[in-house]
Amino acid sequence: LRRGHYFITTKNLMNVGHSWSPLQKLVYISVVFFFHFTAFNSIQSLATQIYEQSGYGNLGKVCLFTFNIAFCLGSFASSRIVKKIGNTLGLFLSSLPFLLAYVAGIAMSTCSTFDPKPFFCESQSLIEGFHVFAYLGVGLGSAVLWNAHSGYMSQLAPKNEQGTYFGTFFSIVQVSYIVGSILPSIVFRVASVFTFFILMLILTIIAVGLFYHLPKPIPDMETQEEPLLASKEGHQTVEDTTSGNFVTEIIQILKLTRDEAVQPWLLLMILAGFTQAYNGGFIYRFVEISLTIETEKSIVMSETAKMFIFFGIGMVMSALVIGKAIDRYGTKKIFYAIVTFYAVMLFLSIVQTFIKSYTLACIIGALCRNADVCIGTLLCTIISVDFKGSLDHFALYRAIQVSGTSLGFILLIILQNIEDVNIIFGLTLYFGVTAFVLSEKQKAKSVVESENFTV
């Protein structure tokens, strides 16, 4: 290659942005994730409907299930991968599998758009198999993507501003949820499913290109190792502990569940997963029961889409506030605030089963998304500060969270014929146990800190 050209390596992946401030890098990575997840959120929210209407039955559900399982399993390997290749290269490479999902969608929609049909349309099994393979790659890529993101943010943010940085990131990224909810409704009014997947592919290609030029969090950092230590400038630095094989790495992550400092937070990680399942697989019922039986399905779908917009607005608003609040008031006070917030959301959910109000359904949707973002930001900040930004702890968090989401969806399928209020009571019971256990942990921590101060 001529001078000035280079291969993709951890040393020369980033030759731009080395003089950028941490805030500029924060805005950059947030915008990249915005483009990336505008496309993926659109697919996630409509996958089941798109594939059912295209004659592929439950293929959308199978793809999302494959994605979640791969995400969970991939989380155990993600920290070792990121430690080896670094955050910036990890983010770039892990974004590539998402392209396969949109190529698979284009291939599927081609069969109903063009005549004569391409050769691969003759085998539905081939198309279905390609989709499962693609979403398997997306799940594994997502595990590495979010682990690399967590390491990147931990290195980027000064120690006393971790909450603010995570909160700002999520506030920008959550706008993609709003755009991802509005964009499909606009596209499907004027174009086909084929055009929709082409547009999603273009957005992802833009994101991949931006990932390629992502500046390193700290200019002289090349890889992300364990454990993280505080530097003189207040940022997170690292030292090498990547020895050991792959199985040892998984065992090391699983052993974290035996740590008394980690165990109480496992309940909150599972609650984070249950909350996502509640968001995606249950709250839409509040819209359905608020409309009359005679209402056309198209209107129900339209009103449900509007509620998704409320979801996004709620996520943006909470992310803007929660990060700064954590840095200012500490994790303990914010935890109690989230507990109160969550309790109000569950109470209104119970009320909704009786009064069946569309306005209240939108309020609950916004509150639930607020709770989702607040819990996620709190856990990311706790891991980044209390556990020194350990990638193994971030990997454990993602694995437990996705497991909770998958379990939540399975329970919703099994319990789909019981009264809605009983499902809400079940979530309330688990929430109560989680709140009690973590409240006791906070009290015990306060006692220890008080005794140490006295001594």
The answer to whether the bond into 116 is cis (omega within 30° of 0) is yes
Band of pLDDT at residue 327, cut at 50, 70 and 90: confident
The answer to whether the bond into 184 is cis (omega within 30° of 0) is no
Which of 9-23, 230-244, 348-362 shows the lowest mean pLDDT across its residues?
230-244
Higher pLDDT: 44 or 67? It is 67
Band of pLDDT at residue 5, cut at 50, 70 and 90: very low
- The answer to whether 201 and 58 have CB atoms below 8 angstroms apart is no
Q: Is the pLDDT of residue 316 over 90?
A: no
pLDDT of residue 241: 46
Band of pLDDT at residue 380, cut at 50, 70 and 90: confident
118: DSSP letter:
P
Averaged pLDDT of the chain: 78
3-state secondary structure of 5: coil
pLDDT of residue 246: 63
pLDDT of residue 312: 62
Q: Tokens 């909810």 correspond to what residue?
A: 181
pLDDT of residue 18: 58
pLDDT of residue 452: 47
Three-state secondary structure string covering 182-202: HHHHHHHHHCCHHHHHHHHHH
Band of pLDDT at residue 185, cut at 50, 70 and 90: low
Separation between Cα atoms, residue 304 and residue 285, nearest integer Å: 9
Separation between Cα atoms, residue 134 and residue 200, nearest integer Å: 15
3-state secondary structure of 348: helix
Separation between Cα atoms, residue 387 and residue 393, nearest integer Å: 7
The residue-averaged pLDDT of 8-13 equals: 45
Q: Is the pLDDT of residue 2 over 80?
A: no
Separation between Cα atoms, residue 58 and residue 76, nearest integer Å: 28
The residue-averaged pLDDT of 1-12 equals: 44
Share of the chain above pLDDT 70, in %: 77
Band of pLDDT at residue 183, cut at 50, 70 and 90: confident
pLDDT tens for 258-305 read 888 888 889 999 999 888 888 767 776 776 677 654 444 445 445 555
pLDDT tens for 42-58 read 777 666 667 777 777 77
Band of pLDDT at residue 176, cut at 50, 70 and 90: confident
The answer to whether the bond into 227 is cis (omega within 30° of 0) is yes
- The answer to whether 379 and 269 have CB atoms below 8 angstroms apart is yes
Which of 310-319, 327-336, 381-390 shows the lowest mean pLDDT across its residues?
310-319
Residue partners of 345: CB distance under 8 A and separation at least 6: 364, 367, 368, 370, 371
Separation between Cα atoms, residue 322 and residue 328, nearest integer Å: 10
Answer positive or negative: Cα dihedral of 453, 268, 402, 33.
negative
- Helix ranges restricted to H, 213-296: 246-255, 263-281, 284-290
pLDDT of residue 8: 45
Q: Is the pLDDT of residue 454 over 50?
A: no
Q: Is the pLDDT of residue 36 over 70?
A: yes
The residue-averaged pLDDT of 325-346 equals: 87
pLDDT tens for 102-160 read 998 888 888 777 677 777 777 778 888 898 999 999 999 999 999 999 889 888 888 77
pLDDT of residue 152: 92
Separation between Cα atoms, residue 299 and residue 294, nearest integer Å: 10
Band of pLDDT at residue 206, cut at 50, 70 and 90: very high
